[in-house]
Structure 1
Amino acid sequence: MEEDEQLRPVMFLLTYLLLKRRRDLNDANAQRRSEAQRRVRLRQHFIQRQRRILMMMLAGSMRSNVRIRTRPWTTTRSTDWWERVVMTEFQPSDWLDKFRMSRETFFYLCEKLRPRLTRQDTSFRLALPLEKRVAVALWRLASNIEYRTISNLFGVGKSTVCRCVRDMCHAIVALLSSVYLRPPSDQELVDSAELFSSDWGFPHCVAAIGTLHIAILTPSNNASDYANPAGWLSVMSQVVVSGRGLFWDVCASFPGGTDPAEILQNSSLWATAAEGGLTPTLTPAFMGKPLRYVLVGEPCYPLQSWLMKAYPEGKGRSHLKRTEAEQLFNARLNGALRLTQEVLLRLRARWQCLSKRNDCGLDVVPTMILACCILHNMCESHGDTFKAEWQEEGTEAESPQPVYKQPHTPSVDQSNAEAVRRLYCDFYLQQQDYERLN
């Protein structure tokens, strides 16, 4: 009996070890069976996927063999169109027509946007190449055609087209604003003043300020706020254009019915200009007096010592009361304001999404406007060709921009601003007398 009692713990231990060994063997066998089944399913899925791809390739080949070809890049399948035609066969004129920029500028843009737009492959699908994502978005900005058409053209889904446009616009604003949409340096101020004087006959001026209206779909809320003076719904932007025809400052996202003077007074430009931020460190002289550089603007803006606008034109015969010097000033200032009109026309002509009615959401339109202004500066800085036919297409498609004659609210004119305007009148009067004598 004593021996049995001594052997009982040993027997219990041996029994436990045997049971544990059997359980471990069963778990290992179950794991091996599960892994084998998973591999079988993956192999079946891979075979089925390869079979579908092969059938699609065969169907595409059969359709392409019976298709009558006119131009190569209008009749090929979408995947082949991008990978072979665009990337290898597009001529310089094709890049300009379809992407509104040269091939060199296109790949420069792709490199700059790579940190924000690069995507990784997943277990379910391959990521869209960066260059193709940029091309899809540029095609939309340049043509404003429907997502469905671009989807069929590039062989991607409509949601992918929408996502490409949104992602690229945000990436451009985030990565390129500091390069192409920034405050001017002292030398750029001097160069711009020289261009305004030589090209537009308005000296001591560095920029022109204006408004841009983009037609939109009817918003779900507060639609009446978006009705502009021309009678159509729009999103309004304030732009500042340099003598080179580049944008220095853009304030977007305002309803079309907003007073331009209100936008200006609440923008960073107002504080910057009032503090002398648009004048070099060494204040230049005008008519023998130190004077900060000025901007020119439409009659809807308040007169400031740094912002010149034309003298009000009366109705009937009251305009005859304007002196000769004041008439000269108005003529030269209105001539300088044509720069803003021409630059905005080039902007809308190059990027048709700003010329035709934009069907994107109100959360996307302001970013799209900023992105297009940055792309305009980039293309102009790189010397990309601007085709005259783009301007004709844009003019035919767009709604006429509203014209602001008088401010919506009483102007907050600066007390010493009139003295600066009189200084310009004296300058033009002296210039005219000199021309008469010579």
Structure 2
Amino acid sequence: MVSGEGRPSEARDGGRGSAVSHSSCLPAVLQLLIARRRRTSCYFYPRAWPSIRGADWWERVVLKEFGPQDWLEKFRMSKETFFYVCNQLRPGLAPHSAHFHPTLPLEKRVAVALWHLATNVEYQTLSPLFGVGPSTVQTCVREVSYAVVLLLKPLYLRLPNEKELENMVRIFRTRWGFPHCIGALDSLHIPIHPPLRLSADYCNGQGWHSILTQATVDGMGQFWDVSTAFPGSMENSAVLESSSLWVLAKEGRLCPNPPKNFMGKAQKYVLLGDATYPLQDWILKPYQEDENLTQRQLRFNYRLKRAHSVIENAFLRLKARWQILLKCDDCSLELLPTLVLACCILHNICEAHDNPFNEEWLEGTEPTELPKPCQPAPAAMEDGRAEQVRELMCQYFESCGEG
């Protein structure tokens, strides 16, 4: 298991401008948007310069002639953010590294890696564009991914402090209408080729092979806890119990001590999950849908599902930016956990630096024939005390008079 917990170091509030407004859209809206579009293939080469490729293409074209839209389209971030990332990675990508030719600049190595993560183009296809061999492309992807996790994870994927937790609660309340909440929890299955060893372990409940990533986002759709490298056959509840998030919660490190007051009672901050997660006094999930639900319970379900959509949208944006996560063909099983963490960190950097998100990228995340596994959490993991927390939430929504 590889894990990361935390949040970007920048201030997180609702006044960050329109660049992050897509995170607040409901999944249904995104799906309608996707359904109206026709899927198009990724452009692997610059459309305006089809005949200029090779060793000097980076220097002659990218650095001198690329405009803002070219940087965004090819590297999924602005030119300013790209060079910010390069400067942050400089200590971990020393020019004297034995893995690289001495004339291959650090910025070019980062560019090769980001282009691959963004497009998922094969090493053999990408190598002539930058005038390097396929093995060098592979090395760039590996070394840059490791450097991102080593050097940028402490800044952009770390455990929030008490003041940051309070800000997260405020954002969930004001942006999503859900109180006393610090995050939405969900999992992402990343398709892989069947591994030669332990193939059955990686075959999930829907019959396709994947590795499983558990993640938590704040109300702005940025990741602050990620645990990955779990075999696809594991259920969400088992992944949760094996994750660093479970340990943090059991140690009381997800809320202040003593807990803050909510509805007249000392109550831990909560995360929002779906039916695949166990009900805990710090994890809330919807009531099981049936004809016996009261209006208060139906209102609670609506509010929770609406707020939980922030992580569904975050996963969509993550995969749309870094389409390597749609199908990991060239990546080894050993590297994949590091690559997933790197993509989550890069997602946070783009969001924190207000880099535009192109909704056309969502075409690549259109639902395919691979349905998401969805196994309900076992009753044995349910915490009986948690029902009182759901009841407090029902009382809150009823007192607000909101539907």
TM-score range, shorter chain: 0.7 to 0.9
CA distance in 1, matches of 2:97, 2:313: 44
Counterpart in 1 of 2:342?
371
1:326 corresponds to 2:302:
no
Q: Which has the higher contact order (CA 8 A, sep 6+)?
A: 2
CA distance in 2, matches of 1:274, 1:213: 26
State the one-letter code of the partner of 1:271: V
Contact 2:56 2:130 in 1 (8 A): no
CA distance in 2, matches of 1:429, 1:125: 65
Counterpart in 1 of 2:58?
82
Q: C-alpha offsets along residues 242-279 of structure 1, whole Å, 9 cap, x if unaligned?
A: 11211111001011110111111122211212333222
Match of 2:314 among 343, 366, 370: 343
How far off is 1:292 after superposition?
1.6
Change (3 A) 1:406 1:73: same
CA distance in 2, matches of 1:72, 1:312: 54
How far off is 1:165 after superposition?
0.4
Task: Please provide the CA RMSD for this pair.
Answer: 2.0
Q: C-alpha offsets along residues 158-206 of structure 1, whole Å, 9 cap, x if unaligned?
A: 0000011011111111111111000012222112112212222211111
Counterpart in 1 of 2:363?
392
CA distance in 2, matches of 1:266, 1:406: 17
Match of 1:147 among 100, 118, 123: 123
Q: C-alpha offsets along residues 361-407 of structure 1, whole Å, 9 cap, x if unaligned?
A: 100111100000000111111111111111123326x6655152522
Contact 1:237 1:254 in 2 (8 A): yes
CA distance in 2, matches of 1:211, 1:71: 36
1:168 corresponds to 2:144:
yes
CA distance in 1, matches of 2:264, 2:299: 20
State the one-letter code of the partner of 2:384: S
CA distance in 2, matches of 1:119, 1:80: 18
Q: List gaps (5 residues or longer) in structure 2.
A: 1-45
Change (3 A) 1:71 1:239: closer
Counterpart in 2 of 1:295?
271
Contact 1:217 1:359 in 2 (8 A): no
CA distance in 2, matches of 1:86, 1:128: 15
Match of 1:91 among 67, 88, 107: 67
State the one-letter code of the partner of 2:153: S
State the one-letter code of the partner of 2:386: A
Contact 1:301 1:411 in 2 (8 A): no
How far off is 1:415 after superposition?
2.8
Change (3 A) 1:353 1:125: closer
CA distance in 2, matches of 1:336, 1:404: 19
State the one-letter code of the partner of 2:332: G
TM-score normalised by the chain length of structure 1: 0.78
Q: C-alpha offsets along residues 302-350 of structure 1, whole Å, 9 cap, x if unaligned?
A: 111111011122xxxxx11112211111111111111110000000000
Contact 1:110 1:134 in 2 (8 A): yes
Q: List gaps (5 residues or longer) in structure 1.
A: 1-69, 314-318
State the one-letter code of the partner of 1:136: V
Contact 1:299 1:406 in 2 (8 A): yes
CA distance in 2, matches of 1:426, 1:248: 29
How far off is 1:126 after superposition?
3.4
CA distance in 2, matches of 1:71, 1:354: 24
Counterpart in 2 of 1:241?
217
Match of 2:175 among 193, 196, 199: 199
Change (3 A) 1:281 1:254: same
Contact 1:274 1:306 in 2 (8 A): no
CA distance in 2, matches of 1:118, 1:127: 12
How far off is 1:79 after superposition?
2.3
Change (3 A) 1:104 1:160: same
Match of 2:184 among 190, 208, 219: 208
How do 1:2-13 residues align onto structure 2 when only pairs under 5 Å count?
none
Counterpart in 1 of 2:163?
187
Counterpart in 1 of 2:394?
425
The structure richer in helix per residue is: 1
Q: Of the two, which has the highest radius of gyration?
A: 1
Contact 2:203 2:232 in 1 (8 A): yes
State the one-letter code of the partner of 1:406: P
How many residues matched?
Answer: 357
Contact 2:116 2:324 in 1 (8 A): yes
Match of 2:95 among 112, 119, 124: 119
